[in-house]
Amino acid sequence: MKQQRLQMVQKQLVDRGIADVRVLDALKTVPRHKFIPEPFRDVAYTDGPLPIGHNQTISQPYIVAFMTELLNIESHHTILEIGTGCGYQTAILSCLAKKIISVEVVPELSESSMNRLSSLGYKNIEVHCSDGSQGWEQNAPYQRIMVTASPKSIPEALLDQLDIDGRMIIPVGKSVFSQELKIVTKNKKGHIDIRPSLPVRFVPLVT
C-alpha cells in the first residue's frame, strides 16, 4: 500500500502542480486505505472520490491536497473542519496543525471516524457530532476553517468564528452542479474578502 500511496502522490499531486512539501508529506504518510470501507480498499489510491456509507463520499486525493495547500496552514494553528466523514481529511490536517476540531452531523460517521482516528494514533483531534453550519463556538476563534460539504451561502457562524488574519476554504453553490470553491479571508480590521477558486462537487451541507 505504501508503494501505491507514493505513486498517488507523484502522479495525482506532484505532476498536477501540488508543491507544498508538508502537504505532500502528509499525503505520503496517512494510510488512506484504512479510512475506506473494506470492499473498496483495493482501489483506495485511485484518482477519484469513493463511497464511505450513509450516502457520503471521501474526496478525491487531489481535491484533499489542493484544499489543504490553499489553506496555508502553520503548525501553531487551531483548525475547524466541517464534515468529518471518514476522517481522512481530518488526519491530513492533524499532521500540519496544532489542534483540529472536526464537526460531523451523522452520528455513526462521527463515532466511527473518532474511533478510527484514535486507533491510528492521532492525538490532536476532537470530533463532535453537531450541525457544522453553527461552527463550534467553544474553541473559537479558529485561524483556519475547512468545509467539505457545500452550503448555498457561507454560514454567518463560520465567518464569526474565523480569527483575524484567518482563512477559510469552502465549497459554495445553489446546486450540486454549480459549486465553486471559495477562499475567504478576514483581515486585521475584521473585513471579509471572498475569492473564487476551482469548480467542485461536494455533498450538500445539510441544515
Tell me how many residues contact ligand SAH (CB under 6 A): 25
Q: Which three cell numbers stand for residue 70?
A: 490553499
- Window 21-60: residues binding ligand SAH (CB under 6 A): 52, 56-59
CA 143 vs. chain centroid, Å, equals: 15
CB-nearer residue toward ligand SAH: 37 or 193: 37
Which member of 9, 149, 158, 170 binds ligand SAH (CB under 6 A)?
149
Nearest to 144 by CA among 43, 46, 76: 76
Nearer to ligand SAH, 164 or 206 (CB): 206
In the complex with ligand SAH, the residue whose CB is nearer, 59 or 94, is: 59
Contact call for residues 159 and 137 (beta carbons, < 8 A): no
- Which ranges of the chain would DSSP assign to H, the alpha helix? 2-8, 21-29, 61-71, 88-96, 107-119, 156-161
Q: Does residue 102 carry a catalytic annotation?
A: no
- Interacting residues toward ligand SAH by CB under 6 A: 52, 56-59, 82-83, 85-86, 88-89, 103-106, 109, 131-133, 148-149, 203, 205-207
Enzyme catalytic residues: 59
